[in-house]
Amino acid sequence: MPTDMKRIFSPSVWSGKKFSRKVFEEMKTLASEIEKTRMKTINFMEVCGTHTMAIAASGIRSMLPKNIRMLSGPGCPVCVTSQGDIDRILEISRIKDVVMTTFGDMMKVKGSGGESLYDIRKERGRVEVVYSPLDALKISEKEKGKNVVFAGVGFETTAPLIAQTVIIARERKVENFYVAPLFKLVPPALKLVLSDKTNKISGFILPGHVSVILGSNAYSFLQKDFKVPSVIAGFEPMDIVRAINLLLYQIKEERAEVEVEYTRAVRPNGNKTALRAMNEVFKPASAYWRAVGEIPNSGLAFTERFGRFDAFRKFGVKRKSVSEPKGCICGKIIMGKALPGECKLFGKRCTPSDAVGPCMVSSEGACAAWFKYGAGNIP
């Protein structure tokens, strides 16, 4: 058995579940039938960064029929955060009485001046890595003389938890806790990808975590407006393989539906409790996406009732237009226009230990996945 076959069928990869070769044989048959009748290349985009890592780690690409091409989409929250917004986070973290709190993925993302939160912590600033916004709230309650800011970078998965933390802070009358709202919303990003006619997307593997919050009905526009097959998938390798087969069946049968493979977690209307908290604290707002620009209603801003928690408003830090790092093509990668190996900096000037762009920094970034697991399993 070839090395890739041994890896993909190993119990450690498949969480001890029995795996059948018939699934891949079915996939090859479907892909071959589609190639003969409809299209030579089938471009599937996995939107979620966790899917990107799972696909790379399990070697799924090496098992795909040659005419199936997997593209990584705008599903890594750190990767899609604009350079100008990264600079705003860094600017706040340099303020003397501020404790900047953040998830670990943000620590090594460089600003336009080449400095990161890690550098600021090492040299002069107070920067804390936390595992939950509630940890940041605890710090603010302990350190009354400091202004504690949480870097609110994330999608619909993260926003409800941060919203609930803000609600708790308000109830407890914590006056020194703030959030830098840099949230992004998945549906507007998908609309942007599809509105670009140069993107030949044959189908989407939709994010499981985000869909647990939003529900499958949130993607009805993919069927109604764009006629693109879509499947919400879980994160086990078998989930992803099933999703690919479901997409192939839709293409073969000339359907364009939003199917749910991840039925154990996703419901049509999502998590109403999480959505209620998110909608109470935040409202849709324009947001800037890396190398893409401003997308209307693709982010979240504080509602007036909770406006005093806005760190940018508190410290008067405005967004400035900043150029992308020279030679970095993260913007193209997150929109499915390029693969990591096409970047001239990949593995040379840009590595996980000294990254130029965020796609190499984040644990969910496409470049990080390529670097960690090798590009040999990608056609």
The whole-angstrom separation of Cα 203 and Cα 336 is 12
Kindly list the domain boundaries of the chain, sorted by start residue: 3-76+187-260, 78-185+269-315
Q: What is the mean pLDDT of residues 79-105?
A: 95
Q: Which residues of 229-257 are buried (b: 16+ CB within 10 A; e: fewer)?
A: bbbbbbbbbbbbbbbbbbbbbbbeeeeeb
Q: What is the pLDDT of residue 20?
A: 60
Q: What confidence category does residue 280 fall into, taking pLDDT thresholds of 50, 70 and 90?
A: very high
Could you tell me the sign of the dihedral formed by the alpha carbons of 202, 220, 330, 161, in that order? Answer: negative
d(CA 128, CA 235): 29
Under the banding of pLDDT at 50, 70 and 90, the label for residue 14 is very low
3-state DSSP: the chain helix, strand, coil percent, rounded to 5? 45, 20, 35
pLDDT higher than threshold 90 for residue 135: yes
Give the containing element (helix H, strand E) for 13: none
Residues in the chain: 379
Residue position matching structure tokens 């399993």: 377
**H-state helical runs in the chain:** 3-8, 22-37, 49-58, 60-63, 77-80, 83-93, 117-123, 133-142, 159-172, 186-195, 208-214, 220-224, 237-252, 272-281, 311-315, 330-334, 358-361, 366-373
Residues 6+ apart with CB under 8 A from 133: 101, 150, 152, 161, 162, 165, 179
Condensed to tens digits (0 to 9), the pLDDT of residues 179-238 reads 999 999 999 999 989 988 788 899 999 999 999 999 999 999 999 999 999 999 999 988
Asked whether residue 16 carries a pLDDT value surpassing 90, the answer given is no
Domain 3-76+187-260 has CATH 3.20.20.80: no
What's the whole-number mean pLDDT along residues 160-178? 98
The one-character DSSP state at 204 is E
Q: Which of 150, 149, 226 is nearest to 195 (CA)?
A: 226
- Band of pLDDT at residue 99, cut at 50, 70 and 90: very high
Q: How confident is the model at residue 375 (pLDDT cuts 50, 70, 90)?
A: low
Work out the pLDDT band at 94, boundaries 50, 70, 90: very high
The per-residue pLDDT for range 295-326, each reduced to its tens digit, is: 999 999 999 999 999 999 999 999 888 888 88
Q: List the beta strands (DSSP E) in 278-377.
A: 282-289, 293-302
Q: What is the mean pLDDT of residues 116-132?
A: 92
Q: Give the residue among 279, 275, 297, 280 at the shortest CA–CA distance from 288.
A: 297
What is the third-level CATH fold of 78-185+269-315?
Answer: Rossmann fold (3.40.50)
Find the angle CA(169)-CA(272)-CA(288) to the nearest 5 degrees.
Answer: 65
Q: What is the mean pLDDT of the chain?
A: 89
pLDDT value at residue 367? 94
**Confidence class of residue 28 from pLDDT cuts 50, 70 and 90?**
confident
Q: Which stretch of 34-38, 71-75, 266-270 has the lowest confidence by average pLDDT?
A: 34-38
Rounded CA separation 298/282 (Å): 12
Question: Fold match between 3-76+187-260 and 78-185+269-315?
Answer: yes
